[in-house]
A and B are shown apart, each in its own frame.
Chain A
Amino acid sequence: MAPRTMFEKVWADHAIGDDLLYIDLHLVHEVTSPQAFEGLRLAGRPLRRPDRTLATADHNVPTGPGQPDELSRAQLAALKRNCEQFGVPLYALGHARQGIVHVIGPELGVTQPGMTIVCGDSHTSTHGALGALAFGIGTSEVEHVLATQTLTQRRPKTMLISYQGALGIGCTAKDLILGTIAQIGTDGAGGHVVEYAGEAIRALSMEARMTVANMSIEAGAKAGMIAPDETTFAYLEGRPGVPPDFAAAVQRWRTLASDPDAGYDHTIVVDVPALAPQVSWGTNPGQVVPITGSVPEPRDDSDQRALAYMDLRAGTPMQEIAVDRVFLGSCTNGRIEDLRAAAEVVRGRRVAATVSAMVVPGSAHVKAEAEREGLDEVFRSAGFDWRGAGCSMCLGMNPDILAPGERCASTSNRNFEGRQGRGGRTHLLSPAMAAAAAVTGRLTDVRELVGS
């Protein structure tokens, strides 16, 4: 047989004819599903595979005290009603396993190598970190999967992003992926399934790999995948969702990696040692510079508009930019290792008087784990707000939003205009960098803090 990429193997395993793809796992949340369930009801269709469907409430849940508004309550109630009616297991608010859909999949071990996974959410690419083919879909497609457990799909193209060399001190998976998007652009991987490979990827922990795969969509990719290896198997072992015969599953998963001579439609090389910690300056995730750099000269109308929206002037050193808020959380950087990395910087320091900072764990499980380790105390005593699990200020559907004009150092994935609140200004960065910004009150090269 001709050599095949990991993507090609998973695709072939799930193709029905040349245009249907079988879906192994369908993750559901409150915001993009109500119209799909309603569609099933109107057509009198059953849900084909409740045993391959899992729901949680994350986008629109409160993470602090106080009740959700009436519309939000109605949306959460609709999810509950729909899951009951169609027999879908639901991890609702208050459940010990509730959390951001892309955090709980891997955490439960229901995300496994070689699977096809979809969700009505663009960051579904996160699950590709374990060697699954995982991508976001719209509500019509959610309904299609609920009804048929398949999707009509045309085979995407393939792209290899090859990371050469190792990450420097103070640089993380977030810097790797932000640097990549800055290099190839927000549509640089459009129409492609990306495979991330190379020394720097192999060296990443499982959770750090999720940060990389998570932001595939920010480069326009259909999905992002990382070949499963010992790191993956060790992460999965013992989790509730894994196959009972784990050893046999590992044997099967070992065959998934791309064959040595497999070809890709495109290949991109990233020079990893050249990367400093990264931070975004503009209003799309490709507008990124090293923290040691300055706000760049605008090259086009988009850049001009971004500078005006962000209230920045070309030439200003990034480290002189003061922030009002710090948000630590999201499906990109809301896992336990992210909280540990931030706590490491925060320990023994205090949040600057001019800054309001919050930590929102990615899941109830992450929150409990952090509290077991005493991280909540580290954050609280430094002046951080310690919250419940959810998407929170990553998209600001709940009351956690920026006020107009406020500037935020955020570990999330999108710096679009108004993403974190109308008129709010977002700078994307890693958890350690967010922690550094919280204690100094401005964008800061974390290497200066941890070095001292």
Chain B
Amino acid sequence: MKPVRVISGNVAALDRADVDTDQIIPKQFLKRIERSGFGEYLFWDWFREPGFPLNRIEFHGAPILAAGRNFGSGSSREHAPWALQDYGYEAIVAPSFSDIFRSNCTKIGLLPVELPEDAVRELLDRAPDAATIDLERLIVTLPSGREVAFEIEADARERLLNGWDEIALTEQRIVEIERYEAERERDGPNTLTV
């Protein structure tokens, strides 16, 4: 994963609530067994609808996507963040995210930024005007110059800032995991003998 520090640039606006992962990447593209190349399938059906906001030329190439509440609801498919990132987005800003989507984003270095409704509203209304997201300071600078603070779990922030591999971090705690298995693990179902 590439480290994430400051993301600065134009904002693309998708002023819709409850954007679910079925819209972000429809099921017919989940048959691929690769991890890359999903960008061309992003919002497959919506991009083909007349008037879909992200088709607007001034939104092309924007690194920041602003959207309505409950973004990324529905299916746990990580293909959704893969598609958004592969398309070119580096951060998604919304009043709220679904839990699984949000967590999936932080695993791949796509920054989910939760801001109050009024701050997201400014981004949506002024798009494509540029904004800056500073993960080190946990501050978003809106097009008006107003600074708004945001929160992200401390460990996720640390990983993102450093581009660390989460599995490698957990592997450093293997002694703790082995101790758990030795002392506290229950007789669970053995899937090899069911």
Chain A contacts to B: CB under 8 angstroms: 13, 16-17, 19-20, 22, 24-25, 31-32, 34-35, 38, 43, 45, 50-54, 59-60, 69, 71-72, 74-75, 78, 87-89, 108-110, 112, 114-115, 120-122, 135-141, 143-144, 147-150, 152, 154, 156, 186-187, 190-191, 217, 220, 222, 240-243, 284, 300-302, 305, 395-397, 414, 416-419, 422
Contact = CB atoms under 8 A, between A and B. Distances in A.
Nearest to A418: B45
Interface stretch (B54-62, B72-80, B120-128, B139-147): B72-80
Interface stretch (B2-10, B85-93, B183-191): B183-191
B192 A50 contact: yes
A17 B176 contact: yes
A136 to B, nearest CB: 4
B27 A54 contact: no
B78 A136 contact: no
Contacts of B177: 16, 20, 22, 148-150
Interface string B91-105: 000001011100110
Size class of the B contact interface (CB-based, 8 Å)? 35 or more
Contacts, number: 201
5 contacts: A17-B176, A22-B180, A31-B31, A220-B70, A416-B22
A121 B15 CA distance: 27
Interface of A is mostly: loop
Interface of B is mostly: loop
Nearest to A153: B103
Given A147-B167, A190-B99, A220-B70, A31 B188 contact: no
Nearest to A74: B33
A302 B18 contact: yes
B153 interface: yes
A392 to B, nearest CB: 12
Contacts of A20: 170, 173, 176-177
B53 interface: no
A276 B75 CA distance: 28
A16 B189 contact: no
Nearest to A242: B189
Interface in B28-66: 28, 30-35, 45
Contacts of B98: 187, 190, 220
Interface of B: 15-18, 20, 22-23, 26-28, 30-35, 45, 69-70, 73-79, 81, 96, 98-100, 103-104, 107-108, 153, 155, 166-167, 169-171, 173-174, 176-177, 180-181, 184-194
Contacts of A416: 20, 22-23, 74
Contacts of B191: 25, 50-54, 88-89, 110, 241
Nearest to A72: B31
Given A25-B189, A220-B98, A417-B23, A16 B35 contact: no
Nearest to B173: A20
B176 A154 contact: no
A89 B190 CA distance: 10
A16 B107 contact: no
Contact of B76 (A50, A52, A138, A147): A138
B16 to A, nearest CB: 7
B115 to A, nearest CB: 16
A22 B185 CA distance: 9
A417 to B, nearest CB: 6
B23 A122 contact: no
B30 to A, nearest CB: 5
Given A16-B177, A51-B190, A138 B104 contact: yes
Contacts of A139: 35, 78-79, 104
A148 B170 contact: yes
Query: Which has the most chain B C-beta neighbours within 10 Å: A35, A38, A143?
Result: A35
